[in-house]
Amino acid sequence: MNEDIKITLPDSSILSAQKGNSVYQIIGNIGKGLQKAAVCAKVNAGLVDLSYKVNTDINLSVFTFDSPEGKNAFWHSASHLMAQAVKRLFPQAKPAIGPATDEGFYYDFDLDKPFTPEDLLKIEAEIQKIEKEDLEIIREEMSRDEAIKFFESKNETYKVEILKELSNGPVTLYKQGEFVDLCRGPHVPGTSYLKAVKLLSIAGAYWRGDEKNKMLQRIYGIAFPDARSLKAHLAMLEEAKKRDHRKLGKELDLFSIHEETGAGLVLWHPKGTRLKNIIETFWREEHYKNGYEMISTPHIGKAQLWQTSGHLDFYNENMYSPMDIEGQDYYIKPMNCPFHLMIFKSKGYSYRELPLRWAELGTVYRYERSGVLHGLLRVRGFTQDDAHLICRPDQMPEEIDRVLAFCLYMLRSFGFENFKVYLATRPEEKSVGEESAWKNATRALEESVKRAGIKYEIDEGGGAFYGPKIDIKIMDALGREWQCSTIQFDFNLSERFELSYIDKDGKKHQPYMIHRALLGSMERFIGVLIEHYAGKFPVWLAPVQIILINVGEDVRDYTEKLAEKLLLEDIRVESDLREETIGYKIRDAISKKVPYIGVIGKKESELSTISIRKRGEKDSTAVKTDEFLHMIHNEIKDRK
């Protein structure tokens, strides 16, 4: 007689299944459509393959490709499929690692022969062949020592190196046909699931990201359950190439990064600095309106400061080596927090003076390996849109509500309307504080998100070492997610720095603290803005709002005087007075993606008008100068 077990689903509904059934069989009892779309599952707290056998009562969540967990398993499976194809075509290639990423997957190979674009086509053809073979993907366990012997027999030196660093105990391998890889999983059930795979590019990558190690060859790819989804994604990638902020940054003369000055260190050109200042000015004005005060702190601090804050214990790998100043170690700051707390400690506060809301556009420096640096999106020196709220425990819920509303207002002001919100919980490793404090802090953040009526997801273990947080990811014009905003609870630093205020009982009490960044790194945010708008900034943000073009030398003086008038009206204007054809100057102005082009000829100078051509339009309209000023000021006011 078969024994039934209880399966609890995410909506708390319960179904029965036979003991020993696989997750795949259990999903079939929920629905055949879900069974067909399923990629992997979560049994209690762990991700598993669909072949996982269930022998006790469980909590079950099912993940399709549309979920982050499903994409990760699908793309990781595709990386194994690609590695199998490479090994068939290039048996001498040594696989290193092949993880899923946020945008697909890659696999690193050690091969003396450089891969070529033609090789990618051959590998794709082999991938299609293996997909049609419908090889079952099987999870196997063996001891670490057995696995070392196994991979040594296959001359898989990179797998052996990884294994030797693991503690004794069982390890998992995944097998599909003749190909076996070291992996935790989960994976899709078979290669036939991977119907639409495209290899995108080849790059060099140091083993483990260390420049001292051997340079490997990295193949990037993407995969989808069907060809139509792949086709749509490739079209999006083509559009993304056109919007690449590195390409547009150069074309629009906004910024540059040079090896001579240092990788990951941004040089802002005049137009880029103008854009950055526009954003920062708006940021400061809105903060003052919302009850914040501005503070400013140094770029370096003594080692003792970072020891007290916990950064030397928990964040040291992201900090630069210390510098010796008069026999004392100083570190360039990776964060602004400790300085803000020292300002608080410089005087005593009573409960009546709280909350304090202190904000700073502070430049910080964090070590990033050269392999992950990416234009403005991943840099080593950046300006952090930072603030710390210090309050009484009873003020915490209102302060979280306020900062969450402020955050969404700021993002919407820059044209972002679609968000994904994540509640990040305590990391498994490298965290401080009592479990009860973490639970209370997490609950406070979660209740705030619920009060705001915002849909959210749980990011298990994604919190900072000092507390849980709310992460807000914005969706750009291409539907891509970007991490910018974060609201972090901190019950740790107040204790480490021995912060206190005098409460109504006349005794000292420890305040609560919230770290928050609305836009995040200004460099990263501007990179996202460039790609979101494809360089076509709205009028209020555009570094140059109008380019004036003269038609002939006889209207040069009028054009220059008009430009002066616009400048006095706070309009960002440039004049193109070159002795070029009008057609050439208009085409050049269009390439700069400015919101308006103003053409000045004899007729315009006589009638005191401007022939205005709006970005994206072919026709021009003659308007009086004052009429144009009224129109553009309204657009700036409405942030259009």
Residue 515 is among the residues annotated as catalytic for this protein: yes
Q: Which of 337, 391, 407, 484 is catalytic?
A: 337
Nearest CA-CA partner of 270 in 256, 285, 286, 289: 256
Residue 366 is among the residues annotated as catalytic for this protein: yes
Q: Which of 366, 516, 585, 592 is catalytic?
A: 366
CA distance 577 to 470: 51
Strands 469-475, 300-302: pairing is: unpaired
Residue 386 is among the residues annotated as catalytic for this protein: yes
Cα-trace Rg, the chain: 29
Q: 291 with 317: CB under 8 angstroms?
A: no
String of b and e for 220-253 (b: at least 16 CB within 10 Å)?
bbbbbbeeeebeebeeeeeeeeebbbbebbeebe
Residue 469 is among the residues annotated as catalytic for this protein: yes
CA distance 637 to 364: 32
CA distance 306 to 333: 9
**E strand or H helix at 371, and its extent?**
none
String of b and e for 293-327 (b: at least 16 CB within 10 Å)?
eebebeeebeeebbebbbbbebbeeebeebeeeee
Q: Which of 378, 388, 516, 572 is catalytic?
A: 388
How many CA atoms, within 13 angstroms, populate the side-chain half-sphere of residue 235? 7
CA distance 47 to 280: 43
Q: Which of 49, 119, 386, 471 is catalytic?
A: 386
Q: Which of 245, 515, 572, 593 is catalytic?
A: 515
Q: Which of 245, 402, 426, 469 is catalytic?
A: 469
CA distance 438 to 19: 37
Residue 50: exposed, middle, or buried by beta-carbon count in 10 A (0-12, 13-18, 19+)? Answer: buried
CA distance 215 to 209: 9
Establish whether the linkage from the previous residue to 117 is cis, with ω within 30° of 0: no
String of b and e for 21-39 (b: at least 16 CB within 10 Å)?
bbbbbbbbebeeeebebbb
Return the active site residues: 337, 366, 384, 386, 388, 469, 515
